[in-house]
Structure formats: structure tokens, C-alpha cells
Amino acid sequence: MSAAALLLLADSRLPAGGHAHSGGTEQAVRAGAVHDVASLRAFLVGRLHTTGVVSAALAAAACRTAGAAPMGGPVSDTAGAAPAGGAAGAFTPGAPLSWAELDAEADAVTASPAQREAARQQGRLLLRVARRVWPSDPLEALALAVPHPHHPVALGAVAHAAGIAPEAAATAAAYHAVSGPAAAAVRLLGLDPVEVHRLLAALAQDLESVADRAARAARDGPLPAPSAPALDLLAERHAQTAQRLFVS
């Protein structure tokens, strides 16, 4: 695994549009749910154990899918498909899902249409950038099968292209689930950035635990699907707000 590549992939300065998304923080601030470091901590913990674990598992699964093709070639869109008559999203331990199945899984566990749209926007931008930075056959296969993939699906595929293992892909996704919203809170509320980074440092062990759980689920199944109704409602309200600083 390339530690340097993992740092590049997790860097907020990667020109993939991540800075334009607050992950619900803007609307949470508007509603008064996030107003200081303590309330931000509660918000981030909630995101980490819902959206975070879902995204981490999808990223790890996508990383496995990208690595499943012989010699790094394109992944068949039917690879890992459920048997005829089986339930949608059926998971066979050890068998990677196809790109279409992974994207459908992401759709199924994202209840909010606004969140689905935001995730696809971020995924499309990340995939576009990564095809130039880390060109590879799996990324081309993903772009062909799902032109606008969900962000964690794109993230996992890009992780493999960058030489990153599924476990580290899960860590990157879990980190994105809290780092972006934390940075948005600093901008929205004028919080002390040192205190916010201190908060993120305190969440490091929890983040690693979530990433480990997600990576094991991506390998052994089933993929986790905890719900976060409050985040769904915040996303829908944000999408209907006329004046916004962030896309989501």
C-alpha cells in the first residue's frame, strides 16, 4: 500500500470539489443543531457511525471490485451478480460486486434524493480527476458502466488505482465523512481551527474502529446500512434553500 497515495487521496486540496460540500453542516448550523465545538462533536460522531460506516464499506467494496479483474483489466458488469431470482443487493462472501451493483447498493442505502445527487456529483468529479492523476483500466471500466458513480464507489476505485488497499480505502472514506463537515463548521461559525482539529484527533480511534468494521463487512458481508433520518431531512431542506454557501 502507498501511504503517500493515501495522503494525496485524503487531502482536501485534491481538486475534486470536496470543498463545496458541507455534508449537512450548513443546514445543521442554520437549524441551530451545530453552534459550538461540543455540538459539532455530536454531529460528527453521528455522521461517522451512519453515513461514515456506509461510505467506508462501499469504498472498501469498490476497491475490491477494482482489484478483481485479471491484470487490472476491466471488471465485468455482471461479476459477482446475485443468482437469478435472488434478492437485490445479495452478497456472496469473497465475491466482489459489479460496478452497477455497487452503485445500486449506494442508491438503496441513501434515502435522501438530495444526498444521492450530491454523492453522484462528488463521485463524477473525483472520477474525472483521478482518470488523469491515476489512469487505470478499472477507472475506465467504472466510467463506462456508471458515468456518475456515488462518491464512495468512485473513492474505492480510485484508491485501488492509487495502490491503496481496501482497508485504507475505508479509512479514507470514514475520514472524509468527518473532515469535510468539520472544515465547513470552521468557515460557517468561525470556530477555532485548532480546537476543531483537536476534536478530529480525539475521534481518531473511533474513526479507525468504524473503518475496520466497514472493511470487514466489505469482505465478508453484508454491507452495513444504518439510517440517519435527521441527516436526510437536513439534506432535503438544504436543497430547497435559496441562499447557500455549500452545495450540500
Q: What is the pLDDT of residues 185-230, one digit of tens each?
A: 999 999 999 999 999 999 999 999 999 999 999 999 899 999 889 9
> Is residue 95 within 8 Å of 223, Cβ to Cβ?
no
What distance in Å separates the CA atoms of residue 59 and residue 223, rounded to the nearest whole number? 11
pLDDT at 239 over 90: no
Contacts for 169 with CB less than 8 Å, ≥ 6 apart? 56, 59, 60, 62, 63, 155, 156, 159, 160, 215
Half-sphere exposure of 185 (CA within 13 A, CB side): 32
Higher pLDDT, 84 or 217: 217
How confident is the prediction for the chain on average, in pLDDT? 87
Identify whether 222 is preceded by a cis peptide bond (ω within 30 of 0).
Answer: yes
Rounded to the nearest 5 percent, the helix, strand and coil shares of the chain are: 65, 0, 35
pLDDT bracket for residue 84 (50, 70, 90): very low
- pLDDT tens digits, residue range 27-57? 999 999 999 999 999 999 999 999 999 999 9
Q: What is the DSSP string of 32-56?
A: TS--SHHHHHHHHHHHIIIIIHHHH
Q: What would the mean pLDDT of 163-179 be, rounded to a whole number?
A: 95
Higher pLDDT, 94 or 97: 97
Give the three cell numbers for residue 92. 456472496
Contacts for 80 with CB less than 8 Å, ≥ 6 apart? 65, 68, 92, 95, 96, 97, 98, 101
Contacts for 228 with CB less than 8 Å, ≥ 6 apart? 46, 47, 50, 51
CB atoms within 10 A of CB 72: 15
Q: What would the mean pLDDT of 13-17 be, rounded to a whole number?
A: 79
What distance in Å separates the CA atoms of residue 95 and residue 114, rounded to the nearest whole number? 31
Given this model, what pLDDT does residue 94 score? Answer: 60
DSSP 17: S
pLDDT bracket for residue 2 (50, 70, 90): confident
Given this model, what pLDDT does residue 85 score? Answer: 30
pLDDT at 72 over 70: no
